[in-house]
Chain A
Amino acid sequence: MIEDVVAWVLLAAVAAYACAGGTDYGAGFWDLVAGGAERGKRPRWLIDHAMEPVWETNNVWLIFVLVITWTGFPVLFQTIFSAMWLPLALAAVGLVLRGAGFALRKPTRRLARRRVYGAAFAVSSLLTPFFLGAAVGGLATGRVAPGTKASADAWSNGTSVITGLLTVAATAFLGAVFLTADARRFEAADLVGYFRLRAWCSLGVLAVLAVVGLAVTHNDAPYVYDGLTSGVSLALVLVAVVSALATAGLLYRTATGWARITAVGSVALVVVAWGLAQRPYLIPTSLTVSQAAGASTTLRWLMLVTVVAVVLVGPPLVLLYRLDTRGVLQPLTEADLRNTAPGREPENP
């Protein structure tokens, strides 16, 4: 019973990371394809300013997913990290390069250096979600079971590749939708059209990939395929599709506030639908939620900690997003860090 609750919380955390972290990966993707230093200057300026205050917070969802996994479902954690060794190791390296690249680009002035840091940030923004997606896709195929040793087959099969690509496309979609909204917020009219076009394009790519994905997973990941194409999961997927289409329409009318909500909704619903399709398995079809569950005392404590934390973290999180979307959060400029105020005179001239 309690393990089901923990599984739901885990799924919610995965969905939250897919949406929050995904948006930032998407911003990195658009940074990557923004073109040369001159042509990409304005999009990159927007990406920098939009991501800056929130990307670290968004990244914490991932840590949270890991912690719930190893505390709540130790065997699941052991199995995933043993079987999916390489993609997860590369994703970890990607996370370092991405965060460091982004953080170091900001205070750097020289163009050549900014390029290097920017490239590290942008390329790893593409690779990290791909590897994470590929690992998830590999799990869905049932190639992995407790005790499986690391092998390339576990994550380089058709389903893994298509899931990885879908993940990248979904992040690009989210990123573009949010950047459209940010462009309006920062009063950069030219960028509204720029990112809106990219949101539509990535939605188109997502649709194509989803169709290919259906064909690939039909035989390769039958359990999840059957789950997704029937019952509640199917309903959720359909709502997600409607939601994604609504996003496209809302963007056309530049109702960017609503578009953000529907875009997040569509991605989150797909994640939830996938979770439902896997029921009762954490890894189809070898590890169920109850088989993987840790000690029930710990699970109850984990839920208690989670409830307390939601109460504590919720309000500040809302505050952060509100302050951010209202443009209250601004980085310190060079002028703020200079001293032109009195008090700097030497004591013994």
Chain B
Amino acid sequence: MHSAIDHLLADGPPQLLPARELMAFTLASHILLVPFGVALPAITLLMHYRGLRKGDAVALLLARRWSAVMAVQFAIGIVTGTVLSFEFGLLWPGMMGRWGDVFGLGFGVEAWAFFLEAILIAIYLYGWRRLNPWTHFWLGLPLPLTALLGAFGIVAANAWMNTPRGFTLDRSGNPVNVNVRQAVFTPMFGPEYWHFVVGVILTAGYVVAGVYAVGLLRGRRDRYHRLGFTVPFSVAAILTPVQFMLGDSIARSIFHQQPVKFAAAEIVWKTGTHVPEYMFGRLHPDGTISGGIKIPQLDSILAGFSPDTKVTGLTSVPASDRPTATQATIVHWAFDIMVTIGSLLVLLALWYGWCWLRRRDLPRSRWFLRCAALAGAACLVTVECGWITTEVGRQPWIVYQNMRVSEAVTGTRASSLWAMFGLVVVVYALVFGSFLAVLLKMSRRWRLADEGALAGTTAEDLEGDTPYGPRPLSAAGGRDRGDE
């Protein structure tokens, strides 16, 4: 890490490092909520549908509780996302000033999609009590579509930064002749989009299922926990092999479209054929590699299905136009961790699929539940790793081969940026800490209430039990007003 810092200090203006750290920190925090913003509504709707269709009170209870969680999570996601829009201007005004009109349209689509999502989610979250059950469900149903549309906008913008298209440069280096369609549908867009969408859905699925896996492990083997586990886990398990294929395909797209990034991810120093694959290991500035497991020929085979495939190395471009050795090592580790976890998840999904096909039941082993409980956290790690691979692998460019990060950075003094970084870290630590604490409190409260219900002590609050239909006004008013 130190050599990276020295390198940055030597190369860019002093405010570059704090600007990057601030962007990295806020984005790394926000991205943890993204899977739930995109996919939790879909999973909840699935459970909701099951509840309505089969008259299943347990499924409806799960859907209602997930809604309550969504209400808090969506709010935190909105505010941390708004910060990112501010940071485009606060940290990278140079990029927006020159390229805003070339690639900004994706954000326009995203903003409107997000608007629609915010409206529909408000109706969904607050519609449980008074709306007709099926009307409520149908009003919520477009939510996954709006989420996919929003993701379209964001991923289009990111893909453009990786493979910028749809403009020509005039003499002074400014973009002219903007072609919007080319700028939105860049070569990396397709692979990135599907990899992202499937990735976030399966992450949300594994995380939600993980919560109930813990409950099952603790001996709460009731229908509530089984259902809460099975539905999201099945969604995730079906998508896991799909994601494996998509991941393989995006790696090959990077090989073709961003060969230097591919070289960083696979720590390939010199261009050549019969390139070996390194599992982990560390690249040194002189091109040597220490540690790691070397598998001869494999990198060439993975990239082009033949050991004769020529793989471009980092040294094919000048040192100033490629990631440093440390950055390459970071990308490589992120990539390898992602692939390793992905492969393990495929095994887990196969285990589950096998037992389900044979016995229509979960695997009996406690080890299955232990792995399933960890799968959610592991998925969040892969989300971070995937993002690190994309973004660090693009260095030193902010707009690949067109603008350096150091050219885009704000002119604000480094000291102000460091101060802001400190403030943001404190605020985010408090916000995310409280968010987790509130979620745990909610879950604990529900569990205690459930245990109380089992023991037969449900004296209070029964009038609010049916969420639908008009309720006695006096009771509603009295409780609502007195409860705070």
In the complex, the answer to whether B89 meets A334 with C-beta atoms within 8 Å is no
State the CA gap A95–B126 with chains docked (Å). Answer: 23
Interface assignment of B463: CB less than 8 Å from any CB of chain A? yes
Complex: A212 Cα to B193 Cα, angstroms: 53
- The segment from B91-99, B308-316, B336-344, B346-354 found at the interface with A is B91-99
Q: Which residues of A contact B24 (CB under 8 A)?
A: none
Among B102, B115, B128, the most chain A Cβ lie within 10 Å of the Cβ of B115
Contacting residue for B453 out of A45, A70, A340, CB 8 A? A340
Q: Which of A35-86 contact B (CB under 8 A)?
A: 41-42, 44-45, 48-49, 52-54, 56-57, 59-60, 62-64, 66-68, 70-72, 74-75, 77-82, 85-86
Please give, as numbers and ranges, the residues of chain B lying within 8 Å of A340 by CB-CB distance. Answer: 453, 458, 462, 465
Q: Which of the candidate stretches A175-183, A224-232, A272-280, A297-305 sits at the interface with the other chain?
A: A297-305
- Check B86 against A89 for contact (C-beta < 8 Å): yes
Main secondary structure of the interface of B (DSSP, over half): helix
The answer to whether A333 and B462 touch across the interface, beta carbons within 8 angstroms, is no
The residue that A149 contacts in the complex, of B90, B411, B465, with Cβ under 8 A, is B411
- Given A100-B431, A344-B454, residue A295 in contact with residue B127 (CB < 8 A): no
Closest to B411 in A: A149
A332 to B465, CA, bound (A): 10
Stretch of B61-69, B198-206, B232-240, B297-305 on the interface side? B61-69
Q: B59 CB to closest chain A CB, in angstroms?
A: 9
Residue contact B123 to A305, C-beta cutoff 8 Å: no
Inter-subunit contact B79/A309 (CB<8 Å): no
Residue in contact with B75 in the complex, picked from A62, A72, A102, CB distance below 8 Å: A102
Q: For B477, list chain A residues within 8 Å (CB).
A: 187
Question: Does B86 lie within 8 Å of A88, measured CB to CB?
Answer: yes
B75:A100 contact, CB within 8 angstroms:
yes
Minimum CB–CB distance for A331 against chain B, Å: 6
Closest to A341 in B: B57
* Listed stretches A153-161, A164-172, A256-264, A313-321; interface member: A313-321
Question: What B residues does A306 contact at CB under 8 A?
Answer: 108, 112
Please give me the residue from chain A that is nearest to B115 by CB atom. A60
The segment from A198-206, A234-242, A243-251, A322-330 found at the interface with B is A322-330
Q: Is the CB of B68 within 8 A of A330?
A: no
From residue B325, how far is it (CB to closest CB) to chain A in Å?
Answer: 33
**Would you list which residues of chain B between 440 and 484 have a CB under 8 Å from chain A?**
441-442, 445-446, 449-450, 453-454, 458, 461-465, 467, 477, 479-481, 483-484
In whole angstroms, how far apart are the Cα atoms of A273 and B115 in the complex? Answer: 26
| Selected interface stretch from B2-10, B172-180, B207-215 | B172-180
Within 8 A of A (CB), among B228-279: none
The answer to whether B119 has its CB under 8 Å from any CB of chain A is yes
Indicate if the CB atoms of B484 and A44 lie closer than 8 Å. Answer: yes
Q: Is the CB of A305 within 8 A of B61?
A: no
Q: For residue B483, give the distance in angstroms from its CB to the closest CB of chain A.
A: 8
In the complex, residue of chain B having the shortest beta-carbon distance to the beta carbon of A64: B111
Q: From residue B363, how far is it (CB to closest CB) to chain A in Å?
A: 16
B126 and A313 contact, CB distance less than 8 A: no
- Roughly how many angstroms separate A279 CA and B179 CA in the complex, as a whole number? 29
**A92 & B82 in contact (Cβ 8 Å cutoff):** yes
For residue B347, give the distance in angstroms from its CB to the closest CB of chain A.
Answer: 28
> Among residues 78 to 121 in chain A, which have CB atoms less than 8 Å away from a CB atom of chain B?
78-82, 85-86, 88-89, 91-93, 95-100, 102-104, 106-109, 117
Question: Which candidate, B288-296, B376-384, B392-400, B419-427, is the interface stretch facing chain A?
Answer: B419-427
* Complex-state Cα separation, A295 to B100, whole angstroms: 10
* Residue in chain A with minimal CB distance to B184: A301
Chain A residue at minimal CB-CB distance from B113? A309
Separation of A299 and B435 alpha carbons in the complex (Å): 40
Q: How far is the CA of A327 from the CA of B120 in the complex (A)?
A: 16
Query: In the complex the two chains form, what is the Cα distance from A42 to B482 in whole Å?
Result: 9
Instruction: Tell me whether A341 and B434 are in contact (CB under 8 A).
Output: no
A12 within 8 A of B: no
CB <8 Å contact, B111 and A67 = yes
**Chain B residue with Cβ nearest A99:** B79
For A142, the chain B residues whose CB sits under 8 A away are: none
How far is A88 from B93 in the complex, measured between Cα atoms in Å?
13
Contact A320 B57, beta carbon cutoff 8 Å: no
Contact A298 B127 (CB under 8 A): no
Q: A82-B411, A328-B131 are in contact. Are A305 and B112 (CB under 8 A)?
A: yes
Interface residue B53 (Cβ < 8 Å from any Cβ of A): no
Contacts of B178 in A (CB 8 A): 294-295, 297-298
Q: Give the Cβ gap from A7 to chain B, nearest Cβ, in Å.
A: 14
Chain A residues with Cβ below 8 Å from B64 are: 332, 336-337
Q: Chain A residues near B410: list those with CB within 8 A.
A: 81-82, 85
**Contact assessment for B101 and A74 in the assembled complex, using a CB-CB cutoff below 8 Å:** yes
| A53-B122, A187-B477 as given contacts; A333 in contact with B464, CB under 8 Å | yes
Asked whether A336 and B222 contact (CB < 8 A) given A74-B96, A99-B79, A294-B100, the answer is no
Tell whether B58 is near chain A: CB-to-CB under 8 Å: yes
Closest residue on chain A to residue B479 by CB atoms: A333
Chain B proximity of A87: nearest CB distance (Å):
11
Q: What are the residues of chain A within 8 A of B129 when measuring CB–CB?
A: 330, 332-333, 336
Known: A72-B101, A78-B89. A332 touches B67 (CB 8 A): yes
Interfacial chain A residues near B82, Cβ < 8 Å: 59, 62-63, 92, 95-96, 99
Contacting residue for B105 out of A78, A100, A302, CB 8 A: A302
Q: For the complex, what is the distance from the CA of A156 to the CA of B178, rounded to whole Å?
A: 39
Q: A188 vs B481: C-alpha distance in the bound complex, in angstroms?
A: 10
Q: Smallest CB-CB separation from A46: which chain B residue? A: B481
Least CB distance, A144 to chain B, in whole angstroms: 13
The answer to the question of A335 belonging to the interface, with a C-beta cut-off of 8 Å to chain B, is yes
Q: What are some 23 contacts across the A-B interface (CB < 8 A)? A: A59-B82, A60-B111, A81-B93, A82-B412, A92-B82, A92-B87, A96-B431, A99-B75, A100-B75, A294-B100, A306-B112, A331-B71, A332-B64, A333-B461, A334-B445, A335-B464, A336-B129, A338-B450, A338-B461, A339-B57, A340-B453, A344-B222, A347-B222
On A, residues with C-beta under 8 Å from B are 41-42, 44-45, 48-49, 52-54, 56-57, 59-60, 62-64, 66-68, 70-72, 74-75, 77-82, 85-86, 88-89, 91-93, 95-100, 102-104, 106-109, 117, 149-150, 187-188, 294-295, 297-299, 301-302, 305-306, 308-309, 312-313, 316-317, 319-320, 323, 327-348
Shortest beta-carbon contacts, A-B, top 4: A294-B101, A81-B89, A71-B104, A78-B97
With A56-B121, A78-B94 known, 17 other A-B pairs at CB within 8 A are A60-B114, A60-B118, A74-B99, A77-B89, A78-B96, A96-B431, A100-B435, A107-B438, A295-B102, A295-B178, A297-B179, A302-B105, A309-B116, A334-B483, A339-B57, A344-B222, A347-B221
